[in-house]
């Protein structure tokens, strides 16, 4: 066989199946790398020469979960396999690489490839890992189910390639039909077809396992309960409910300790420092402002502990799977749930995580609704208002404060789903994509990694408190001192300052939703970071009162200064609160569009104002 007559072999497989390692083992140094025309997807080609001198041209196609073409990678894989790429003919043979440790999930692609009619050889890779995990597969039975030859391999070991190399040398030519037009008329599977393929893959996997492996068997038994259509959502709801109850009940003692330390520092500063601008800066600016945010560190750490536990255990992917049906009703799929769940920590990584969504319109929709998820920066705001106005009396054995917190999170989620449905019916209209998700085996979280993860996030929170929040409070304090109050003034000095002037001007806009000039002041620095609003309230009320108010907790100050309708309106505002500057920057970067960034700002401001207006007016009517 001459080089010009060499058969073209395409390697196809899911991401992380060992396909590229197999390509390297086959081609060695006889390979080249380029990009496919018009895209930045890598094109790797090489030459494999068998022991008897046969020459094959090998193409390493991008990793794909499906041939549906939901991303540039998958489009190229599909088009090359079907012979649609720039006039190229289909490959003579497809080597479908399957991960033996995750056979059930990887079989779906093999079944799709079989439907195309392209001659196929299945390579069951990573057999060493399968043996290590006590997994044994009946290769002959798998071959009968698929109707194609199946060989095993360990691509990272020379000895593990012997069976595949022998098959390529002796049998691969026999797979190629006489006619080059061997691709059947192929259409992308419908959602119903896709469900049928998934069902068939599950049935085949169950039949070909001789030993499934302890970890996989335990995972399957747990998933039978956790992924049950009825029990699964209840378990997920229960886990979320437990998290929000823990945020209040477990954090109470350490929060009291931090609060007592801040008050002690304020008292010390008042007793030690002379009555001057320095004392005012330390007591009213730094300690009253930054201290009112740092107190919520225990709750932040508890929230992140649970999120990291869900990720490390493997449950997070199951949550996405459970949410797929609900997300499908609003035009998205379960893959959007992972970025949205990440947004509970911070909208910025959530927006960035939307890159994993292949469909451009789905990705844009996810980015636009990500800020509606209740990020950790809202937690100090929620906790402050709930602690001030909601008693923690038990309701059927459950604390009211945790119930209200849970309700606020649910309100954000429900609002996001409604907005997503509206967007998918209008400006981001498009067909919902099926969910293809690889479920990892369950794992016991490593304590050291968990502690390091929580510590890293606590450090980020403290850096924000010592950076952007501290800077904001110093600027706010400076603006609150100038100009000074006129002679005979009846209000606190801050009322006549530049900050007071801004707050009084904004109060005309926010008066219909129950916000006075002091609350209006806090909303402005709150755009830098949401939790700055709490620090701003601490500074504003410290400067607005007398020396005795410093010794009071901000919770007690608000309880005396606000009405319940105002407090509820403030909570409603922060459910939809216009996102921080950093979130806007992330949105601009990910969408590469000022238009979509501006749209996000406008619709969130509008929702926040409307929700607060309705909440305030309804609460007033009930209050008489």
368-403 pLDDT, tens digit per residue, is 998 888 877 787 788 888 888 888 777 766 778 888
Q: % helix / strand / coil in the chain, to the nearest 5?
A: 65, 10, 25
Q: Which of 195, 130, 122 is nearest to 164 (CA)?
A: 122
Reduced to 3 states (helix: H, G, I; strand: E, B; else coil), residue 213 is coil
Domain spans in the chain, listed from the N-terminal domain onward: 3-212, 233-623
pLDDT interval class at 292 (50, 70, 90): low
Residues 84-98 have pLDDT tens digits of 877 678 888 999 999
Question: Cα dihedral sign for 187, 193, 194, 197?
Answer: negative
Q: Which fold has domain 3-212?
A: Rossmann fold (3.40.50)
Residues 551-590 have pLDDT tens digits of 456 788 888 888 999 999 999 998 888 667 778 877 888 8
Does the predicted TM-score (pTM) go above 0.75?
Answer: no
Reading the block at residue 439, the tokens are 């479920």
Do 244 and 344 form a contact (C-beta atoms < 8 A)?
A: no
Q: Which of 326, 280, 351 is nearest to 596 (CA)?
A: 351
Task: Report the DSSP pairing between strands 93-99 and 120-125.
Answer: parallel
Do 289 and 473 form a contact (C-beta atoms < 8 A)?
A: yes
pLDDT interval class at 43 (50, 70, 90): confident
Q: What's the pLDDT at 417? A: 87
pLDDT interval class at 29 (50, 70, 90): low
Instruction: Write the CA distances from 159 to 25, 162, 164, 364, integer angstroms.
Output: 11, 6, 10, 47
Higher pLDDT, 11 or 262: 11
Report the pLDDT averaged over residues 595-604: 91
- d(CA 128, CA 134) in angstroms, rounded, equals 10
Instruction: Write the CA distances from 158 to 25, 86, 94, 149, integer angstroms.
Output: 8, 36, 22, 21
pLDDT interval class at 183 (50, 70, 90): low
Residues 491-549 have pLDDT tens digits of 767 777 787 788 888 889 999 999 988 888 888 777 666 767 777 777 777 666 544 44
């Amino acid at each position: 066989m001459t080089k010009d007559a060499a058969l073209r072999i395409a390697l196809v497989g899911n991401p992380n199946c060992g396909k590229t390692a197999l390509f390297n083992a086959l081609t060695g140094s006889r390979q080249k790398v380029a990009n496919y025309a018009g895209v930045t997807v890598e094109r790797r080609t090489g030459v494999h020469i068998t022991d008897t001198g046969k020459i094959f041209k090998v193409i390493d196609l991008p990793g794909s979960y499906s041939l549906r073409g939901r991303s540039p990678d998958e489009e190229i894989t599909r088009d090359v396999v079907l012979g649609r790429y720039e006039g190229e003919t289909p490959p003579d043979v497809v080597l479908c690489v399957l991960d033996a440790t995750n056979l059930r999930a990887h079989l779906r692609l093999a079944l799709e490839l079989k439907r195309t009619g392209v001659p196929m050889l299945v390579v069951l890779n990573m057999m060493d890992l399968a043996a290590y995990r006590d997994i044994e597969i009946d290769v002959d039975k798998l071959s009968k189910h698929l109707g194609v030859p199946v060989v095993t391999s360990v691509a990272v070991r020379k000895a593990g390639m012997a069976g595949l190399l022998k098959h390529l040398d002796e049998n691969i030519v026999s797979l190629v039909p006489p006619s080059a037009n061997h691709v059947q008329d192929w259409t992308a599977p419908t959602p119903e077809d896709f469900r049928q393929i998934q069902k068939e893959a599950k049935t085949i996997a169950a039949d070909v396992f001789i030993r499934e492996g302890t970890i996989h068997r335990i995972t399957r038994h747990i998933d039978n309960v956790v992924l049950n259509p009825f029990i699964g959502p209840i378990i997920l709801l229960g886990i979320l409910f437990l998290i929000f109850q823990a945020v209040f009940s477990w954090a109470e003692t350490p929060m009291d300790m931090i609060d007592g330390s801040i008050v002690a520092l304020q008292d010390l500063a008042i007793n030690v420092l002379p009555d001057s601008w320095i004392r005012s800066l330390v007591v009213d600016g730094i300690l009253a402002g930054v201290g009112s945010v740092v107190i919520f560190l225990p709750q932040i750490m508890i929230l992140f502990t649970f999120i990291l536990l869900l990720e490390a255990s493997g449950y997070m992917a199951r949550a996405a799977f459970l949410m797929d049906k609900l997300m499908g009703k609003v035009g998205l799929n379960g893959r959007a749930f992972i970025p949205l769940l990440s947004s509970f920590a911070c909208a910025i990584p959530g927006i960035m995580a939307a890159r994993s969504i292949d469909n451009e319109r789905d990705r844009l929709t996810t980015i636009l609704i990500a800020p509606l998820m209740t990020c950790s920066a809202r937690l100090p705001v929620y906790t402050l208002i709930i602690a001030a106005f909601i008693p923690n009396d038990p309701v059927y054995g459950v604390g009211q404060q945790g119930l209200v917190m849970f309700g606020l999170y649910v309100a954000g989620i429900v609002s996001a789903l409604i907005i997503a449905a509206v967007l998918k019916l209008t400006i981001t209209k498009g067909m919902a994509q099926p969910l293809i998700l690889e479920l990892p085996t369950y794992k016991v979280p490593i304590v050291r990694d968990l502690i390091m993860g929580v510590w890293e996030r606590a450090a980020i929170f403290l850096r924000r408190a010592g950076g952007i929040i501290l800077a904001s409070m110093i600027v706010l304090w400076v603006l609150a001192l100038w100009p000074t109050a006129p002679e005979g003034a009846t209000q606190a000095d801050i009322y006549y300052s530049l900050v007071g002037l801004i707050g009084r001007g904004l109060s005309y806009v926010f008066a219909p939703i129950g916000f006075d000039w002091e609350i209006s002041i806090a909303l402005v620095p709150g755009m830098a970071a949401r939790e700055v609003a709490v620090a701003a309230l601490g500074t504003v009320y410290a400067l607005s009162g007398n020396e005795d108010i410093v010794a009071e907790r901000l919770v007690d100050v608000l309880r005396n200064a606000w009405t319940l309708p105002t407090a509820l309106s403030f909570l409603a505002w922060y459910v939809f609160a216009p996102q921080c500057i950093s979130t806007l920057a992330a949105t601009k970067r990910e969408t590469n569009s000022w238009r979509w960034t501006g749209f996000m700002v406008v619709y969130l401001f509008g929702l926040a104002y409307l929700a607060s207006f309705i909440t305030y007016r309804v609460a007033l009517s009930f209050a008489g």
